[in-house]
């Protein structure tokens, strides 16, 4: 047994006093106004003994100072203040309620009693303010002389009870408020006369804002139109059945004084039974479903319109749920694919996608669904004939007012033709770029407002500038030689669009210091008001061409010397023509040969003796013959000066011979001059030229070779570096020249 217990045993009145009893026995009471415990009066001991054995929290405030003695139950109430409260004055022990306790001491020591129910106080039991509620009963304790010597207080904390009651009250208020503010109709009726006990605002709106609480149903609704309603209530009260009515028409007065409107309502009549199972009332609840009904109807109409619209569109339309699984495809999908309707629902759509595109399409679709973002991708879809065509697929989420995705709507658009066109355009642009690069042409774009020039790589090379995104036009203008400043465009001519479309000028390249000739061609892009906003153009370094033109001027003089050489040829022709013939015949033949030579000379002069068109040489040569009996056909071929002269002479000889002895000697005769440029056996381009006569007199091989045949077979073959074959068929002469295609013959159409 502990020392404290031993001490308690020394004082019989403390026996059975619990833990606090032991503390009382061990406490130094000599330091308090009560004095040593052995000197306590019997009235005090008796009061302490009774208090210690109570299960209710009790505290004894003894003497004028209110020295505190209490039991175990009160120690629990005191919390962290215990055991310091034991033996302390009440004012010092509970300073936060000192004024309240002063009043209690004054009343009770004066012989009075006090009782408080659910008394609210703020105590510092655990070192911080705490709101508590208590039932407090205070009575005086009389000493042996019948005089109040102390106060005994029964303290029962009711904090939990008060909190629970307050919660229940607030819950009732909340439920009452919820009932009142509920959007649906609610009413509670009791008894066989269906007396209204409770209604909410929505129900009052239903009945025209009348207050029917306390009224029987027949009194509240005396109109004949409400008799069905009364009969329904009577049946429910009698049978205990639940009645449900949906989308019932009703006239509602939405605001007091306003006209009634036709509305649709859902109603539930629920019987209310007592514990014995007997019906004691009816609870009515319902809702105005007019908007919902109209919305559902509108939704059905909208869905029908959507289906009609989707089926009328040329595009393939489809829908999916929020989980990304397909729910519907328009008929165009099944018509295109040849699949049975419904075959692509869920994940079946993948069967139509090209195997190489499935992974990309699936990844894009999963990403769009999980991220709730718009979907777009391209893939190939198999057509009913097995062909795959490119489509672009797009889909957007359809969200409800609260932001949740209800479904996805998507479309597949056939872009196979566009992709083919785009590929062709890309190839065309590539060919254009390669052509420009091969030709040394650079492209430019000028923003007129800012003066910035954007150019291709070759553009910067032409100007001798490092490649960059853009430069100001003044940078280029500074490179133009002074004497050509008036040729280029100016800020004014660019603004009004009057700059010369094509000009040539010289610049000094900043990288090499060389002067170069440039050719520039431009055009303008205008805004809606016709004001130039962009200038586009191409540029080319024409220094080589300019140098060539200069050389041609020099060569013109040399041409005169060539004419002298031609005269030498004429002399040779004259000598051969006049040999072994009479003067008259020789004169005629010589004139024809000189005329053919002159025509060829004219053509070469026009081209500065660089090249002559085969077609033009032949057309000019045969002009003196019956041209209606001569057909000429063949692709453009350019001849060198020597080739042009020999071809003219050969055609003249063949035409003269045909006019005298061959096809041109009779009206029905025909001469065909034709040529082609096929590839030779070694893969190099060749020229095959034919003179064919038909429908003329029967032809026989000549008995001797004249100058004409020598000219055709020898000179023509030599100048073309080829071979000439003369065949004297009975139906007409045929001359065939086979030779390599003249160099550069197809690069230039001179016809």
Give the CATH number of domain 584-740; options: 3.60.20.30, 3.40.50.2300, 3.30.565.10, 3.40.50.1360.
3.30.565.10
Which has the higher per-residue pLDDT, 207 or 516?
516
> What is the Cα–Cα distance from 105 to 112, expressed in whole angstroms?
10
Instruction: Count CB atoms within 10 A of the CB of residue 154.
Output: 19
> Could you read off the pLDDT of 437-446 as tens digits, one per residue?
666 788 888 8
Confidence of residue 232 (pLDDT cuts 50, 70, 90): confident
**How confident is the model at residue 603, as a pLDDT?**
56
**Spatial distance between the Cα atoms of 699 and 309, rounded to a whole number of angstroms:** 81
Tell me whether strands 670-676 and 630-633 are parallel, antiparallel or unpaired.
Answer: parallel
Mean pLDDT of 39-64: 94
Q: Which one has a higher pLDDT value, 253 or 40?
A: 40
Distance CA 696, CA 670 (A): 7
Average pLDDT for residues 670-683, to the nearest whole number? 93
The closest alpha carbon to 243, from 275, 222, 268, belongs to 268
E-assigned strands of 71-142?
Answer: 114-123, 130-142
What pairing do the DSSP bridges indicate for beta strands 185-190 and 195-199? antiparallel
Q: Answer yes or no: are the C-beta atoms of 56 and 73 closer than 8 Å.
A: yes
Long-range Cβ pairs for the range 507-511 (8 Å, 24+): 507/463, 507/479, 507/480, 507/481, 508/479, 508/481, 509/463, 509/464, 509/479, 510/464, 510/465, 510/479, 511/464, 511/465
Q: Is the pTM of this model over 0.85?
A: no
**pLDDT band, residue 569 (cuts 50/70/90):** very low
**199 pLDDT band (50/70/90 cuts)?**
confident
Average per-residue pLDDT for the chain: 83
Q: Is the pLDDT of residue 33 over 80?
A: yes
Per-residue confidence (pLDDT) for residue 538, from 0 to 100: 85
The whole-number average pLDDT for the span 698-709 is 75
H or E stretch at 279:
strand 279-288
**Count of residues in the chain:** 751
Whether residue 690 is predicted with pLDDT greater than 80 in this model: the reply is yes
> What pLDDT does 224 receive?
37
Structure tokens at 494: 């660019």
Say which range, 101-105, 460-464, 707-711, has the weakest mean pLDDT. Answer: 707-711
- 696 vs 311, higher pLDDT: 696
CA separation for the pair 583, 588 (Å, rounded): 9
What distances in angstroms separate CA 541 from CA 397, 474, 507, 517, one per listed residue? 57, 20, 10, 6
Chain segment 397-440, per-residue pLDDT in tens: 988 888 888 888 888 888 888 888 888 877 877 776 666 666 67
Predicted confidence (pLDDT) at residue 106 exceeds the cutoff of 90: yes
Given this model, what pLDDT does residue 751 score?
Answer: 41
Range with the poorest average pLDDT among 77-86, 145-154, 283-292: 283-292
pLDDT tens-digit series, residues 538-561: 888 888 888 877 777 765 554 554
The answer on pLDDT for 323 being more than 80 is yes
Count the neighbouring beta carbons within 10 Å of the beta carbon of residue 134: 21
* Burial annotation 663-697 (CB, 10 A radius, 16+ → b, else e): bbeeeebbbbbebebeeeeeeeebbbbbbbbbebe
Q: What's the pLDDT at 588? A: 61
Model pLDDT, residue 18: 93
pLDDT at 117: 94
* Cα 582–Cα 586–Cα 588 angle in degrees, nearest 5: 130
Classify residue 511 by burial, with Cβ atoms within 10 Å: 0-12, 13-18, 19+: exposed
Please give the Cα distance from 565 to 576 (Å, whole number): 17
Higher pLDDT: 449 or 493? It is 449
Omega before 83 cis (within 30°)?
yes
Q: How far is CA 295 from the centre of its chain?
A: 30
Residue 152 has pLDDT above 90, yes or no: yes
CA dihedral (22, 25, 29, 30) positive or negative: negative
HEC states along 10-39? CCHHHCCCHHHHHHHHHCCHHHCCCCCHHH
150 contacts: CB under 8 Å, gap ≥ 6: 44, 47, 60, 61, 62, 63, 66, 109, 140, 141
Burial of 99 by CB count in 10 Å (0-12 exposed, 13-18 middle, 19+ buried)? exposed
Strands of the 243-252 sheet, one edge to the other: 195-199, 185-190, 279-288, 261-273, 243-252
pLDDT class of 631 with cuts at 50, 70, 90: very high
Q: Work out the end-to-end distance of the chain between its first and last CA atoms, rounded to an integer number of angstroms.
A: 140
Work out the burial of residue 346: count CB atoms within 10 Å of its CB; fewer than 13 is exposed, 13-18 middle, 19 or more buried. middle
Tell whether the model's pLDDT for residue 14 goes beyond 90: yes
Residue 523 has pLDDT above 70, yes or no: yes
Instruction: Return the minimum-mean-pLDDT range out of 103-117, 553-567, 660-674.
Output: 553-567
How confident is residue 644, by pLDDT bands cut at 50, 70 and 90?
A: confident
The whole-angstrom separation of Cα 637 and Cα 34 is 145
CATH number attached to the domain at 294-414: 3.30.450.20
At residue 583, the pLDDT reads: 60
Distance CA 574, CA 92 (A): 158
pLDDT value for 387:
92
User: 3.40.50.1100, 3.30.450.20, 3.30.300.30, 3.40.630.10: which CATH number matches 3-163?
Assistant: 3.30.450.20
Spatial separation of the C-alpha atoms in residues 85 and 70, rounded to whole Å:
9
pLDDT of 296: 72
pLDDT tops 80 at residue 596: no
Q: Is 176:182 a contact under the CB 8 Å cutoff?
A: no
pLDDT over threshold 50, residue 711: yes
For 283-321, what is each residue's pLDDT tens digit? 888 888 877 777 777 767 766 666 666 666 677 888 888
Which tokens is 194 given? 């269906």
Backbone angles phi, psi at 347, to 5 degrees: -105, 10
Residue 747 token pair: 């690069």
Measured at the alpha carbon of residue 49, what is the angle toward residues 43 and 55, in degrees to the nearest 5?
135
Q: Please determine, looking at this structure, whether the domain spanning 182-288 carries the CATH number 3.40.50.300.
A: no
Residue 604 has pLDDT above 70, yes or no: no
How many angstroms separate the CA atoms of 702 and 705, rounded? 7
Q: Which conformational region is residue 538 in: left (phi greater than 0), alpha (psi within -120 to 50 degrees), or beta?
A: beta
Q: Do domains 3-163 and 425-541 have the same CATH topology?
A: yes
Query: For domain 425-541, which architecture applies?
Result: 2-Layer Sandwich (3.30)
Q: Which residue has the tokens 């003329």?
A: 696
Q: For residue 748, name the pLDDT band (cuts at 50, 70, 90).
A: very low
Question: Structural domain boundaries of the chain?
Answer: 3-163, 182-288, 294-414, 425-541, 584-740
């Amino acid at each position: 047994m502990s020392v404290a217990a031993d001490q308690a045993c020394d004082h019989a009145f403390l026996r059975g006093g619990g833990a606090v009893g032991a503390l009382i026995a061990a406490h130094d009471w000599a330091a308090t106004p009560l004095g040593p415990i052995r000197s306590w009066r019997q009235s005090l001991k008796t009061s302490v003994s009774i208090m210690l054995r109570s299960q209710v929290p009790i505290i004894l405030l003894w003497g004028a100072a209110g020295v505190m003695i209490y039991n175990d139950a009160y120690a629990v109430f005191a919390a962290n203040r215990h055991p310091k409260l034991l033996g302390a004055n009440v004012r010092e022990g509970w300073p936060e309620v000192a004024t309240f306790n002063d009043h209690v001491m004054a009343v009770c020591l004066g012989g009075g009693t006090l009782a408080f129910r659910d008394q609210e106080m703020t105590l510092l039991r655990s070192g911080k303010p705490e709101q508590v509620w208590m039932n407090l009963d205070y009575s005086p304790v009389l000493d042996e002389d019948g005089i109040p010597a102390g106060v005994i207080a029964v303290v029962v904390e009711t904090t939990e009870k008060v909190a629970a009651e307050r919660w229940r009250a607030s819950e009732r208020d909340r439920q009452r408020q919820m009932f009142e503010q509920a959007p649906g109709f609610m009413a509670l009726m009791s008894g066989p006369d269906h007396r209204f006990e409770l209604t909410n605002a929505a129900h009052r709106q239903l009945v025209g804002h009348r207050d029917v609480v306390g009224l029987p149903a027949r009194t509240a609704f005396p109109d004949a139109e409400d008799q069905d309603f009364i009969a329904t209530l009577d049946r429910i009260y009698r049978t205990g059945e639940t009645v449900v009515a949906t989308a019932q028409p009703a006239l509602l007065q939405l605001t007091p004084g306003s006209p009634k409107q036709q509305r649709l309502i859902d109603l539930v009549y629920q019987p209310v039974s007592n514990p014995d199972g007997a019906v004691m009332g009816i609870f009515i609840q319902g809702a105005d479903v007019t908007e919902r009904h109209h919305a559902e109807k509108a939704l059905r109409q909208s869905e029908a319109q959507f289906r009609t619209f989707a089926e009328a569109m040329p595009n393939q339309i489809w829908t999916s749920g929020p989980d990304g699984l397909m729910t519907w495809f328009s008929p165009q999908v099944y018509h295109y694919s040849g699949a049975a309707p419904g075959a692509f629902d869920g994940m079946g759509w993948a069967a139509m996608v090209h195997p190489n595109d499935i992974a990309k399409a699936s990844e894009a679709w999963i990403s769009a669904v999980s991220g709730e973002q718009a979907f777009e991708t391209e893939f190939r879809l198999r057509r009913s004939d097995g062909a795959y065509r490119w489509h672009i697929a797009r889909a957007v989420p359809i969200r409800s007012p609260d932001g949740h995705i209800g479904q996805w709507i998507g479309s597949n658009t056939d872009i196979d033709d566009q992709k083919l066109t785009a590929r062709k355009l890309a190839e065309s642009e590539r060919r254009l770029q390669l052509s420009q690069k091969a030709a040394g042409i650079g492209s430019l774009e000028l923003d007129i407002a800012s003066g910035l020039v954007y150019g291709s790589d070759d553009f910067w090379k032409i100007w001798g500038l490092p490649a960059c995104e853009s430069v100001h036009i003044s940078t280029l203008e500074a490179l133009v030689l002074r004497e050509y400043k008036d040729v280029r465009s100016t800020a004014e001519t660019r603004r009004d669009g009057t700059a010369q479309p094509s000009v040539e000028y010289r610049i000094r390249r900043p990288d090499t210091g060389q002067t170069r000739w440039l050719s520039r061609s431009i055009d303008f892009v205008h805004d809606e008001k016709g004001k130039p906003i962009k200038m586009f153009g191409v540029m080319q370094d024409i220094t080589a061409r300019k140098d060539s033109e200069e050389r041609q001027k020099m060569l013109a003089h040399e041409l005169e010397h060539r004419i002298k050489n031609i005269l030498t040829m004429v002399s040779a022709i004259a000598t051969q023509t006049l040999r072994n013939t009479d003067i008259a015949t020789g004169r005629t033949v010589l004139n024809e040969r000189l005329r053919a030579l002159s025509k060829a000379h004219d053509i070469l002069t026009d081209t500065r003796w660089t090249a002559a068109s085969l077609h033009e040489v032949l057309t000019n040569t045969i002009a003196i013959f019956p041209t209606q009996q001569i057909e000429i056909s063949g692709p453009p071929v350019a001849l060198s000066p020597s080739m042009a002269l020999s071809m003219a002479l050969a055609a003249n000889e063949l035409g003269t011979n045909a006019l005298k002895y061959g096809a041109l000697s009779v009206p029905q005769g025909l001469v065909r001059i034709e040529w082609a440029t096929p590839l030779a056996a070694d893969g190099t381009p060749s020229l095959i030229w034919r003179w064919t006569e038909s429908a003329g007199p029967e032809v026989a091989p000549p008995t001797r070779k004249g100058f004409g045949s020598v000219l055709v077979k020898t000179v023509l073959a030599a100048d073309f570096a080829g071979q000439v074959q003369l065949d004297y068929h009975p139906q007409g002469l045929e001359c065939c020249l086979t030779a390599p295609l003249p160099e550069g013959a197809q690069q230039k159409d001179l016809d």
